[in-house]
């Protein structure tokens, strides 16, 4: 039997153990593939951030949840195609998966139309797997600089998905991205560049030890989803 409340408390407790009550780590509850009842239950536990990865799944759920989502930050965490940029800007507070300049300009255009500054994270690619999306590690600084010139998007930080690997390899990748995060913060006038989104159900504790301040958790809260949907 799963218990959403207990699972969330367990994760919060782990965060406190690692951080010793210092500096906060935000939990983004990843609700993809899980129904609205589950989301409502997580919200009752005081969750303030939810993450979805597919537009066609997210929007009907948001509509159904209606006012229950007021004050809740909605994160887009999946690969975003340019033809979905408009819907993303209209419906999401933070787009964690910015991975190309073309997408940045598409988001900018739609944000401008509705008078919004769209908050985004740059998705960093740390693995050589050809299927992985994201901006290659060595190109992220240049990409950040280019984005600084785009008026209606604001880069709030970095996001990384580590490849499936053992914990020590994950730690290695988390360290790389943390160093890059610090480097950008120090090298540029990086106003509002404060979010380091790394860590999922399996590796969030290591990610926090390595400096993450935002974790994205699905299965450790809701139970295992169909592997194919991952």
Ligand X SMILES: *Cc1c(COP(=O)(O)O)cnc(C)c1O
List of residues contacting ligand X (CB under 6 A): 30, 32, 53, 77-78, 161, 200-202, 216-220
DSSP state letter for 228 = G
- In this structure, the strands spanning 26-30 and 195-198 are unpaired
Give the up-direction half-sphere exposure of residue 92: CA atoms within 13 A in the CB hemisphere.
Answer: 31
Residue closer to ligand X by CB (options 124, 217) is 217
Contact between 31 and 42 under an 8 Å Cβ cutoff? The reply is: yes
What's the closest the beta carbon of residue 63 comes to ligand X, in angstroms?
21
Residue closer to ligand X by CB (options 155, 220) is 220
What's the closest the beta carbon of residue 187 comes to ligand X, in angstroms?
26
DSSP state letter for 226 = P
What ranges in the chain are assigned the alpha helix state H?
4-19, 36-44, 55-65, 85-91, 101-113, 140-148, 167-187, 204-209, 219-222
Q: Is 66 helix (H, G, I), strand (E, B) or coil?
A: helix
Residue closer to ligand X by CB (options 51, 152) is 51
Q: Is 174 helix (H, G, I), strand (E, B) or coil?
A: helix
What's the closest the beta carbon of residue 207 comes to ligand X, in angstroms?
11
Residue nearest to ligand X (CB): 218
What's the closest the beta carbon of residue 169 comes to ligand X, in angstroms?
16
What's the closest the beta carbon of residue 200 comes to ligand X, in angstroms?
4
């Amino acid at each position: 039997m799963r218990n959403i409340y207990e699972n969330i408390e367990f994760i919060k407790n782990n965060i406190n153990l690692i951080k010793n009550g210092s500096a906060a780590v935000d939990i983004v509850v990843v609700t993809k593939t899980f129904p609205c009842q589950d989301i409502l239950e997580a919200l009752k536990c005081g969750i303030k951030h939810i993450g979805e990865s597919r537009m066609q799944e997210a929007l009907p759920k948001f509509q159904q949840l209606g006012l229950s989502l007021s004050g809740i930050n909605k994160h887009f965490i999946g690969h975003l195609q340019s033809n979905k940029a408009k819907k993303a800007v209209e419906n999401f507070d933070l787009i964690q998966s910015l991975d190309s300049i073309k997408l940045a300009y598409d988001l900018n255009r739609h944000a401008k139309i509705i008078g919004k500054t769209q908050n985004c994270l740059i998705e960093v690619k740390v693995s050589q797997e050809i299927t992985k999306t994201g901006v290659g590690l060595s190109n992220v600084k240049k990409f950040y600089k280019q984005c600084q010139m785009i008026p209606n998007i604001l880069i709030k930080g970095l996001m990384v998905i580590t490849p499936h690997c053992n914990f020590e390899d994950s730690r290695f990748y988390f360290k790389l991205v943390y160093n890059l995060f610090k480097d950008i913060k120090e090298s540029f006038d990086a106003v509002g560049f404060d979010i380091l989104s790394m860590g999922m159900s399996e590796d969030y504790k290591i990610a926090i030890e390595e400096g993450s301040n935002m974790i994205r958790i699905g299965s450790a809260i809701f139970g295992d989803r169909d592997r194919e949907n991952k």
